[in-house]
Structure formats: C-alpha cells, structure tokens
Amino acid sequence: MAEATVSKKKKIRRGDYPYTVFKAMRNGDWITRLSFLIMGFGNIVRKQFVKGVSFLVLESIFIYFMIKNGASLLTDFFHLGGAEQEKVWNDAKGIFEYTQGDNSLLMLLYGVATVFIIFAFVCLWVFSVESAYRAQCLHDAGKKVPGFTDDIKSLFDKNLHMFLLPLPVLGIVVFTILPLVFMICMAFTNYSKLDSHTVLFNWVGLKNFAKILNFNDAVGSTFWSVLGWTLVWAVAATFTNYIFGMILAMVINRKGTRCKGVWRSIFMLSAAVPQFVSLLLMRTIFSQNGIVNTLLLNHHIIDNAIPFWSNATIARIMVIVINIWIGIPFTIMQVTGILQSIPEDIYEAAKVDGAGPVKIFFKITLPYMLFVTAPYLITTFAGNINNFNVIYLLSNGAPIPVGKTAGKTDLLVTWLYKLTVDNQYYNLGAVIGIMTFIVLAIVSLITYHNTTSYKDEEGFQ
C-alpha cells in the first residue's frame, strides 16, 4: 500500500510529464526547436494548421504590442514619470495653454498590466512548445496527430477543464490578482498628499515599511497601538460569540426545553434585520442624548450622561458587547447542528459512569465542538480582524484620535480606510493592507496547524 502511494505521488510530479519544455529542448527535432522562436511552427508542419496559426497570430500580436506600446509602458513603470503639467501663455490666442504632464498612477497601473501580459505570453509560449513537442512524439511514434476537429472534441471530454476554466481564471486575474499586485506596488512608492505626490510620485523601496514599523515615528506608534487593539478585538469578538452562542444552543437543545423552534426563531430575528440598520440604531440608542442616557437621567439613576462613544474604555466594551448580540444567532445555528450530531450513547455512558453535567461538557461536548468548529473559529477570527461594519458604523473609530489619523476603537481595516479616503496617504494605506494580510496569514496558519482537526483528521470518525 505504501509503495502504491509513493508510486502515485511520483506520477503527478511535473518532471514526469511526457511533454515539457525541458524535454522539448533536449529531445526535440529541428522543427520543434524552431517552435521556440516561431510559435506554432511545429504544429503547422505536422498539419495542425488552426492551432499553429493561432499560436503564430498571438505571437505576432504580442510582438506588435511590445514594439508599439509595451516597451514604453515598461520603461514608464520603472521610472513612473517626472514631467509636470506646464502652463504656457499663447500670445496669438491671448490665453494660457496647458501641456499634459505625466501621471504616475496610470504609469504604474499600465506597467503592472504589461507585466501580467508578458507573464500570460510566457505561459502561452510554454503551452505552444509543449504542443509542438507532443505533435512530434505522436508523429515519430506513427500515431495520428489530432486535428482541429479532434481538439474541439477533446475540449468537451478529457480537456473539459481547458474549456471551462480560462474565463473564470481571467476574471480572477483581472479583478482580484491585478488590483492586489497594483496595491502592493503602491506600498513601495511615495504616493500620498504629503509633498503633493498624488499625481507624480516615485519608488521609495522599503521606506514606508520602515516608517510603519518604527516605534518612534508617529505613524509607527499609531500602527502598533491599532494592531494591539485589533488583535484584542478579534480574540474577544470571536470567543465571546462562540462561548455564549454555544451555551445558548446547549440550553435550547436540552431535552427539558420546550418550543425549541420558537427560541431559535427569536434569536434569528436579529440576523434577519440588515446589519447596518441594527448597528446605526444601536449607535443612536447609546448616543449622548440617546434613549438609554435619557431614561437613566430621567429616573435619576445617573447624574451625568454615560460617555458610551467618547470614553475609550467604555467604547471598546460597547463594540464588543453589541457584536455579541449581532453574532450569537449565527453561532447558535452552527453549534446546534453539531450538538445534534453527537451520539446520544456517549452521554448515556458518561452518566452511567457517574459523570456530572460539568464533566460531560469538558470531556465530551467541548472537545467534540472544538474539533469540528476549529476551522470555523479561524475564519471567524479572520473576519473579525477585517470587521469594518461594526466599528465604522458604531463608533467610527472614536474616541480621541491616535496619532491624528486613528481612533481608540479603530481596527487596521478602518484605519486603512481613513488613511486612503480621508487623508490620501495611499502608500501607507497599501502598507497597512499588506501588514494586515501578513498578521492574519501568520496567525491563521499557525493556529490551524496546531488544531486537532488538522493533526488528527479521523479522530472523531
């Protein structure tokens, strides 16, 4: 069995593929090797005319693009321009005329797009060389080289993935990967309103990262302060929802509880209301002149209004408590299904052995719950780190600005929003985005690799 597994793994290694560029370079004939320069040449010679001509046309388009625009776009990408817009007086017309200057943002965007086009062409070139080598091997073996009709039929059979996947992959590249790479590149520039670098900016290397990580810098100290609160918030928001949701789910699920469906429906009512409506309503209720303060003052329970959103400690407690109210219904639904899947025989055996409710919970229910829901907890933790809605709609990051750009309840994601939208520090915002991803990836991967569901996948099966 072990030998079969090893043999199976060997079959899927790239080096064991029958047609690769390296094998084409080593074993290909002069026709295949000429296909390295003239894409589709080997296919055309071996009568795969449609495929060969397609490769040749695409290569011609790429070469034309690189000669006409691509080379200049790459050059602009490396220097990001420097010519400013100029105002020149025209004596004949009696007016000022403006000469167009460089736009570093467009140069960066077009440069990144050009790099992606080059990468796509390299992938196409690899595919064309492997196709030419495949045609050679079939020809030398005396087998039929598939024609255009055969290729079309294969796209609806064994190569169905090559027919269905390109369009979704193209969408992911254009609308997800390209913007991410563009943002990452922005982190290495001085693109911001500081010194008026919103139209023309340059590469600055790791200067922005050094600024963010420097404790003695105003932005750096703000980053570490916001990062600390972000981690505290994420842990508190994740585990309070999980613990209270699990307790309520167990209470509802117990045999003695009547009208279980009614109780579950009641808790789901808060989830049925759009979140932004609930959060804005809560913000109003707990405002300085809100219902809560008004009632407490009118009944002489307090002398002064409680500063729910102007006191840092109270504001942080409030966002956590309100998040519990919003998140518990979803946890109840998650946990209810898991509780119902635990075999009743295990509980009966534990009771026969003399175990009480507390011991049963810590020895049976909780381990089983953690085993099943560990990935869910990690995704919830990641979602809470990027939980823009709760913080922005409740407190807007208030109170008391930290370093003039962040508030005491701001998370990294809300601070990033303020840096870019309100303050136009786009380069620092890009750095914050990268740092948020790094923190989230490290914490999530380390946590997941240490969970029982990862180490002992079949432990509860």
Could you report the per-residue pLDDT of 235-273, keeping only the tens digit for each? 999 999 999 998 898 888 887 888 888 888 888 887 788
Mean pLDDT estimate for the chain = 86
pLDDT score, position 11: 40
Is residue 8 predicted with pLDDT exceeding 70?
Answer: no
- pLDDT reading at 401 higher than 80: no
How far is it, in rounded angstroms, from Cα 59 to Cα 55? 6
Task: Check residue 3 and give its pLDDT.
Answer: 43
Q: Report whether 229 contacts 316 (CB < 8 A).
A: yes
* Cβ neighbours around 450 below 10 Å, total: 10
Give dist(CA 425, CA 422) in Å, integer. Answer: 9
Nearest Cα residue to 413 out of 227, 155, 254? 227
Q: What is the pTM of this model?
A: 0.80
Residue with the bigger pLDDT between 162 and 117: it is 117
Six-digit token string for 408? 């005491």
Domain locations in the chain as residue ranges: 16-186, 208-455
- Can you name the CATH fold of 208-455? MetI-like fold (1.10.3720)
193, 192, 223: which is closest to 426 by C-alpha?
192
8 A C-beta contact, residue 329 and residue 267: yes
